[in-house]
Structure 1
Amino acid sequence: MQLPVRGIAVVSHRLPPLNALRAFEAAGRHLSFKRAAGELSVTPGAVSQQIRHLEQVLGFPLFQRLPRGLLLTGHGEALLPVIGEAFERVSAALEEVATAMPGRILRLGISPRLTRDPEGLLAALVGPGGAEAFIRVQPTDDVGDLLSGAINAVLRPGRGPYPGLQAEALDLHPAFAPHRRATLVTWPGLAQCREVRRARALLGQA
């Protein structure tokens, strides 16, 4: 005899709107509504609106709006790494389980001083299967292309300085011979995204 189930408590996660959390996480990494909007393929106004709604839901400000950019408040600083780690874990789990789910295309500039055939080099790095779908390369080492948004990252032979940008020295894959080292330059807010991490491993693998 099957007994009726009574008094079951329905438990729901106490979460604000997820789109607002995405906007906050991207704006917090970039410290810019404009660059967060570019990453999320929305307008800066939409990012600002999402974050204001999130601040209303939470009951405290997450950013100080300054004339030349953003600054995280104490609450924002405490929340950002937690939200960022949560998104990274979800992304990693989906990458394993939902292998057919499309990702973003990384637009990577490779200096002509390192190779005159970036497409051929990429194919050599990836192997017989051809270039991976997550990356598109073009011959440029103009940091202006990065600043304008034409590319997401650039591999250059020079060490910089690159004020306001993330620059990491890489020991290059042997396919770059005779070149052994170069610098991968991107926005700080993109430095730890999945596509940049994969590109870093691809270009600098042994």
Structure 2
Amino acid sequence: MPDRLPPLTALRAFDAAARHMSFQAAAAELNVTPAALSFQIKSLEEHFGGPLFRRLNRAVELTEAGRALAPGCARGFRELSTAWQTARRISETNTLTVTAGPALTAKWLAPRLYEFARVHPEIDLRFSASLQIVDLENAGVDVAIRFSANVDERYFSIPVRKEWMTPVMTPALAERYTTPESLTDAPLIFDDSLASLQNPPGWPNWFRAMGMDFEPTHGPRFSNADHAIDAAAAGMGIVLGRRAIILQDLLEGRLVAPFKTAVEIDAQFNFACLKGTETRPNVAAFRDWFFSEIEKTAYVSDDFEIIPSSGIRPA
């Protein structure tokens, strides 16, 4: 039995057939004829010195040797694919793929991206608005902006400013509900987008921060933060809004925050990329722009008394 590795095309044919347990399905995946695939596997078995498949009437199954080879072969092709994609991304200095949650993308990133495009016309920016926690090593993504209480040590990560929540409403509703006590009779909107956090913030937290033991339960509930904010901007009611998600609506006057008390959240946004890629020109350019844009509106937090969650007395 030779020690040298067999041809990559033969191993690729074996991997596809082992996954599908069908020469015909494997041939379709690789866009070759079943006869061509069968020839590749036969040549692999000759190279190995024994059968890797048992040919049955209308199916195939792996021999003991085939079962030993299949997992390593599959891992090898996955790692080869990952390495190839990583090398391609590194060489493509004119493209940048960024993922962020739908709410941050709609409410914070999208209104500002024209400025990045103006300053960096050489970078082709591609966005994926998703709540899925992607594996940066395998997902073809350069930068992830994620809201979490934890930091993934595998990545280069920079925390963004602390997030807080405060009631926001239309100017018309602000004229009707002028005190924290008046909110007990107001139409309240619930943003459930942070329900997965260990200590999810909500209306009871804010009312306790104001010295009130009031736990509202009735009102429309939204699983996406941007939908809850849009409902408030349409006049449906009052929502406890997150700083980054309400910022643009506050600056443009669609919403106001009349009560200058905010509750800090036990989580924050993080800018993350693979370690070693933070110095790539396109990643560094986006990072510098991202944090400079955050600093432009940092003054908004100065208007609020921000109470840490640990400082709120329990009900």
Give the structure-2-normalised TM-score: 0.28
Larger Rg: 2
Give the structure-1-normalised TM-score: 0.43
* Larger relative contact order (Cα-Cα within 8 Å, sequence gap ≥ 6): 2
